[in-house]
Structure 1
């Protein structure tokens, strides 16, 4: 089988939507794992699809260190075909840069960019406009994902409701964004949007504006206030 970045990303988006729907359908005390899954899958799906856009321009754009990637590409040319394992293509058993031994690239690790780095590269290196509401919602969900992965989160019932609204809005904005930049993506995903009330939509816009303001203020140095 072959599982591409596009397959991987759209699969995560589908699972994110399913998790949101399950969280709302079940009693809260028995559905918190669905909220966690929605955050993680939505974050992952967006990151992978951004990398898909970058890789279509040039595979090198998804890697953190261009020199390490180039060293890996150099040694890749002399490697024999693969007989098994990850990275085998359906039409040819060619190894990938991830198959190059670490000692061939200075014992360095070949890593790909983070979600935030991918978003920045899509905007600056691919000249694709990133809508502000999409960007801010991505940052909010990414922070929740990081808290879940590296620490913990504690939410009140009101916080849960706001988070679900954020996730729904981001899911819809995600479909709108990738539909413009990935041909045929809507054939691979559930294109039915979530329906938000006017009050919910206005509330989420305020939340995003507050987040953007707080983020902008946190980026200022002490010298900016002198």
Structure 2
């Protein structure tokens, strides 16, 4: 058997995420019968394969900079192996006769060595996730695994994207991404030229803007894929690029409200604001995730962005007593924000404001407090399935992960 680090690592990641998908289909998809033991086997294999793939590809990065950094120490066996490689013109030091006597660095040490390499950014959250993954792997390998399933899911949340971004940046196009992002990048220019040649300029521009948004935010995905992103800072950067572009986005909210020229802006660390510019309508919500669908590059379908909001407890006395369920049982507050900074809540205050015939300008705002799928957005001028409006109405209370898993096998309907 002959496999180099790159081949072995990519293969393990592929198998690992296939098992993770199988696990998620049993854990999060309400349409399937949940079989506890079966899903645990998939989760176990996902942990083992993904951790192995990460460790091996970390070592590929180290070798790319200096093969000498790969070993715990440059002892006599390592020196002998290097001499044999040189004398016999071997492709790898691991083809030498003393390959069983040379020791590469541990997973933990490989992280420390990568962190000191020039021009490599090893993010704190990324490090926490891969270290947690190794902990799970060690428990599985050396004991009976009694692990907190929710914590494992938190570790895997966003990990595929982090791995794709990190390895693509540091291994280049030789790395085959977990998602279809690598293929998206490789075929991007050809599709751009073909779309423009066929006068499909809006689709070409939409793909360009989404590519720019992926690059700016360190999010990644491929065509004909659906993917959930939960990192609020990355998602904010992603949306900034989209809504600062020339594209016009329409919105459909769970309650049937729609608008044709809409942007989303970040207000503070967690809160975001929907601004329907053509109807002077505003919504505020606490961010939880974006679920993005990127269609086939060759057709006229629009990318779709589902926005998931999170629940929160109101602390501001101006709003606290006005929180109430709407017709769909979603907790919210309707209020006016006056240009002088005043806040008016409740029918009495708002009616009194109108009866006063005040000339003060104001914004009519809805502030949402319940978690669930809040809305979907599409690029105006491109095609999309209007039945998706019904999808968010029916699933308005569903968790974003359940939503992602439940619909990713039905993307042909988009």
Equivalent residue for 1:169? 158
Q: 1:37 to 1:174 in 2, by over 3 A?
A: same
Distance of aligned partners of 1:200 and 1:50 in 2 relative to their CA distance in 1, 3 Å threshold? same
Instruction: Give RMSD over aligned pairs.
Output: 2.9
Are residue 73 (structure 1) and residue 73 (structure 2) matched? no
- Structure having the higher helix fraction is 1
Q: Deviations over 1:31-67 (max 9, x none)?
A: 2111001111111111111111111112222122223
Q: 1:148 to 1:194 in 2, by over 3 A?
A: farther
Aligned-partner Cα distance in 1 for 2:118–2:151:
33
Q: Give 1 or 2: higher strand fraction.
A: 2
Cα 1:13–1:98 change in 2 (3 A) is: closer
TM-score (norm 1): 0.69
SS of the aligned residue for 2:228 comes to coil
The Cα offsets for residues 168-216 of structure 1, whole Å up to 9 and x where unpaired, read as: 3222211121122111156453244741565589xxxxxxxxxxxxxxx
**Alpha-carbon distance between aligned partners in 1 of 2:136 and 2:126, rounded to the nearest angstrom:** 16
Whether 1:62 aligns to 2:70 is yes
Q: Which ranges of structure 2 fall in alignment gaps of 5 or more residues?
A: 27-33, 181-220, 231-286, 291-414
Once residues 289 and 142 of structure 2 are traced to their aligned partners in structure 1, the CA distance between those partners, rounded to angstroms, is 30
Question: Are 1:195 and 2:228 matched, yes or no?
Answer: yes
| Contact 1:20/1:38, CA 8 A, preserved across alignment | yes
Please state if 1:97 is matched with 2:106.
no
- Structure 2 counterpart SS, 1:195: strand
Question: Relative to structure 1, is the Cα distance of residues 188 and 129 closer, same or farther in structure 2, using a 3 angstrom cutoff?
Answer: closer
Indicate the residue corresponding to 1:84 in structure 2.
Answer: none
Q: Secondary structure at the match of 2:158?
A: helix
For the 8 Å contact 1:169–1:194, the answer to whether it is kept is no
Q: 2:168–2:177: 8 Å Cα contact kept in structure 1? A: no
For 1:22, the equivalent position in structure 2 comes to 22
Q: 1:182 aligns with which of 165, 171, 175?
A: 171
- Of residues 146, 154, 159, the one that matches 1:154 is 146
Distance 1:149 1:126 in 2: 34
3-state SS of 2:179 partner: coil
**Aligned partners of 2:228 and 2:289 also within 8 Å:** no
Assess if the C-alpha contact under 8 Å between 1:76 and 1:95 holds in 2. yes
Shift of 1:11: 1.3
Structure with max Cα Rg: 2
TM, length-normalised to structure 2 = 0.40
SS in 1 for 2:104: coil
User: Which deviates more from structure 2 when the two are superposed, residues 136-145 or residues 159-168?
Assistant: 159-168
Q: Cα 1:166–1:96, aligned 2, differ >3 Å: closer, same or farther?
A: closer
Aligned partners of 2:164 and 2:179 also within 8 Å? no
Relative contact order: is structure 1 or structure 2 higher (C-alpha 8 Å, sep ≥ 6)?
Answer: 1
The separation in 2 between residues aligned to 1:183 and 1:21, in whole angstroms, is 25
Q: In structure 1, how many angstroms separate the alpha carbons of the residues matched to 2:15 and 2:119? A: 29
CA contact (8 A) 2:164 2:177 kept: no
1:50, 1:118 within 8 Å by CA — same for their partners in 2?
yes
Structure 2 distance, partners of 1:13, 1:122, is 19
Q: Deviations over 1:207-226 (max 9, x none)?
A: xxxxxxxxxxxxxxxxxxxx
